[in-house]
Structure 1
Amino acid sequence: MEKSKVYASLALLVLIQVSNFHLARSGDICRLFSNGTVIRDPDSCSQWITCIDSVSHYSTCTGSTPFFDKDQSKCVKSLKSSSSCSISCEGKATQFVADPKSCKGYYYCSDQETAVYGTCPQDTHFNATTQMCSRLYESDCTTSSFEYCNIVKDKVNFDNLQACDKYHYCQNGVLLDKTCSNLYYQASTGTCVSKALVDCDAHPLPTDVCGKASKPKENVFVSDGATCRGYFYCAQQKDGTPDSNPSWNQCPQDKFFDSTSQMCISPNSVKCTEDRCDGRTLNFVVSSTTGCRNYLSCSNGVTQYEKSCGNLFFDEELGGCVSTVKTYTVCTK
C-alpha cells in the first residue's frame, strides 16, 4: 500500500473522540478540584477536562488548533517550547508525531506548521517508527507520568490527599502547599471550611500524638483531635521511638471514642468538643454546653444549629425539653 494511502486510512480510523479508557480509570481526578474547574487531561495534550460535581467531562481540540493551553483554557495552534506537550512539525510535513502524553494519541503534520490531532482505535497504540497504529502486544509505549502544574494553571486551589487540612496550588509552574487554620479543605468549593463538613480519611496527626521520644505512647488508642469518633492506634516500635505513622479508625454509629476506657462508648459519656452530630442517627442530641439545657439539630452527621430549652432540661431519649433534671456526663462539670 502506498504511504499516502496508509496515512489516509489511518486518519479515517482515528476520528477524534474521547477514549473509552477514561471511563475505567479509578479515582476521578475531578474529586480534587472545585466545581467548574478546567484542566488539561493528564493523558493527552489535546483534551481538556471540565470538573462538574467531582466528575470529569472531556472535550477535544480539533482542526488547526490541536493543543489545549491550560493557562489560557483554550485550544491553540502551538504551545511554548517549555511546555510538557510541546511538539514541532518542522521538517516533518506529511508525517505523524506521537502525543507525548498518550500511547494512543498522535498528530498529523499536514505541513511544517500545522498539526492535526487524532487517536488510534481501541486496543492499539501509535507507533512513531512505523507511522501506524499497532496492536498492544507490539507496543512498548508507557503513558508518561504527569505533574499537576502541567495540567492546571497557576493559583487554582486543589485537594491534597495526604492531609485534610492542606491543599495544593501552583505558582510559576511550581507545586506549593497551604494549610487551613483549624479548618479542613473542601475540594468541591475550593475553600477551608468547618471540619465537620469534610468527609476526611486523612486526618493530620496531632502534635506528639504518640508521645515524645523520652516517653512514647505504646499500644494505645488516642483521639484524632478532629472528631468525636476518630482515633489513632500508636503501636510499640522496636527502636523505642514514638509511632510516626499510627493507623486511624473510628467508632461505629452512635458511639464516641473515650481515651480513658480506650473504648467506643455512649456519646453522652464522652466530653468531646468537636461536632457531636458526627455519626449520630438521632435528629436532636444533647449539647456539651454546661447545664444540659441545650441541644443540637443534626442533619447528615453535621450540626445545623444549637438551641436552648430555657429553664428546662434536654432529654435526648425523648428528643425534647423536660422539667426533670438531666445530668449527662458531657454537659456537667
Structure 2
Amino acid sequence: MRGFDTRICALVACLLLASQASGYSMEQMCAQWSGTGYVGNPTNCRGWGYCQGQELVAWGTCPDNYIFNSQKGSCGFAKNTVCATSAVQTCSSAASPMYVADPTNCTQYGYCDGKGSIAYGNCGVGGVYSAAIGKCVWGPTCPQSTLCQFMLSDIYVGDPDNCGSYLSCSNGYGTPGTCETGLTYNLVTGNCQKTNTCSGSGSDSGSSNGQFTIGQTDAKICSTGFAKAPTVTGQTYRFVSDMTTCYGFYYCASDTAVGTWNQCQVGTHFNPTLGECVSPASYACPYNRCGNVKSQFMTTLGTSCKGYMVCSSGADLNCPTTSPYYNEVYNICSTESPAFAVCTSS
C-alpha cells in the first residue's frame, strides 16, 4: 500500500510540475483566442475545456483509456496519443516505441519502449527538446512553454507576453508574429487593426489587454453622460457610451454614481441612442467598426455603402462599378443599396 501511495504522489507531483511548466490556465488560453472550440487542460491530460467569446464556458474529461489531443481538439486512444502533462503516463500506455517531451525538464526527453517503460536522454549543453519535430534544438527557451501546447493547430492567438502581437499555433508550437507597421493584433477579432489595442489610445480590443477592462470604473462618466442616455420606464439606471469603442458602455446607477464599464457580446455594437447592443449595420458607430466583430470587412462610413474596410489591414476598398454597394450583413457586393443605417451616415 505504501508503494502504491508513493506512485500516486509521484504522479500528482508530475501533473503539478506540468502545470507550472506550461504556465497557463484554460481560462487564460480562452482569453487569448478569438475562436470557438476545445483546449487541453494543462493539469490533466484527459481533461479539456471549451472556449467561446474568449471565456471558458465548459470543461470535462475524456473516458478512461483516452487522452485529450489538444492539437486535434478531440479524445484519442491512450496507446497512440501523447499525454502532454506526463511522459511517464504516455509511455505506460504507448503500444509502440516513440520519443516524447518531458514536461518537467525541457533539456531532456523520454523514450518509450512500447512495453510500458521509459528511459531518459539529455539534449546536452544549450539544447532543448522540441516535441513538434521530435528532436533536440538549440535553446535557450523551451518550445513547449507556450499556450499553443494545449490548443488547436493552425490557429492564431494573442501572445500573452507581448500585447499587440500574436502566436501562430502548429502542432503544439507557437511561432511569434507581429502585425505590419502601424497595426496591432486584436484578440477579439483575430485580426490586425489600425487602432492600437495596447497603448490605451483609441483601443478597440475589447479584452483585458486593451484600454478598458470589464468592471473598470470612471468617476466622471455618469455626470456627463447620464442626462444624454435614453430613459426606460421603471428603470432608474442608464447605460452610457464609453465614447471610444463601438461596443463599450458604462453602467450608471445615477448621474452622481461611479460608472462601471462593460461590453456588448461579440458581433454587436452599442447604440447610445437606444442604450442597447445592436447589429452593427443598424447603427453608424463613429469609432473603429471592426472592433468586437468577427467580420473580415466592414462598411466604411460616409461612402453610402460603396466602400468597405479590410479589418485585418485597415485598408479602404470599393466595390466594382457593376455591383457598387457593399452589404456587410451578407458580405457581398450588390447592385442594390442595402437599407441599413450605416449606409445613410455622413
Whose radius of gyration is greater, 1 or 2? 1
When the two structures are superposed, what TM-score results if normalisation uses the length of structure 2? 0.36
When normalised by structure 1's length, the TM-score is 0.37
Query: Which structure carries more helix by proportion?
Result: 2
